[in-house]
């Protein structure tokens, strides 16, 4: 019954969909246990996936959840790759990389001196 559904290697699909720059990076993520297929951890890069499967993996500090819509024939341009999946990732609030940075630019010399004085040992 399940044989009629077309299949593709997990690492190859992740590479086709442009989630990873190289296929070996995709394979490394899968074999490291960082990719889940339908809630089950994928053990091998050769794990077969098809349309309808839901993948969960981390990418650049974001946990991505995507549903496979199609299997690609090639690794094409980004607009073509975006047709291969449905992004189900929850939108996250944008947080600055440095929480102490308030967006005011570089501190003035007076501010830098005060900061240096406050960081000296014994400056209470």
With a cut of 90, say whether residue 19 has pLDDT above it: yes
Q: pLDDT for 49-102, tens place per residue?
A: 999 999 999 988 889 999 999 998 999 999 999 999 999 998 876 665 666 666
Name the residue ranges covered by the structural domains of the chain.
2-93
Mean pLDDT of 93-114: 75
Q: 6 is written with which tokens?
A: 């077309």
For residues 10-38, b (16+ Cβ closer than 10 Å) or e, as one string?
A: bbbbbbbbbbbeebeebbebbeeeebebe
What CATH superfamily is the domain 2-93? RNA-binding S4 domain (3.10.290.10)
What does the pLDDT read at residue 61?
82
Q: pLDDT for 33-44, tens place per residue?
A: 999 999 999 999
What does the pLDDT read at residue 97?
65
What does the pLDDT read at residue 104?
74
Mean pLDDT of 98-111: 76
pTM of the model: 0.73
């Amino acid at each position: 019954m399940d044989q009629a559904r077309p299949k593709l290697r997990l690492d190859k699909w992740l590479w086709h969909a442009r989630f990873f720059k190289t296929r070996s990076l995709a394979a490394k993520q899968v074999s490291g246990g960082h990719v889940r297929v339908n809630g089950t951890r994928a053990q091998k890069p050769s794990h077969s996936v098809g349309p309808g499967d839901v993948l969960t993996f981390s990418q650049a500090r974001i946990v991505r959840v995507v549903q496979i819509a199609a299997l690609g024939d090639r690794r094409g341009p980004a607009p073509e790759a975006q047709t291969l999946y449905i992004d189900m990732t929850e939108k996250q609030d944008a947080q600055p990389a440095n929480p102490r940075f308030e967006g005011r630019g570089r501190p003035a010399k007076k501010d830098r001196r005060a900061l240096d004085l406050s960081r000296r040992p014994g400056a209470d």
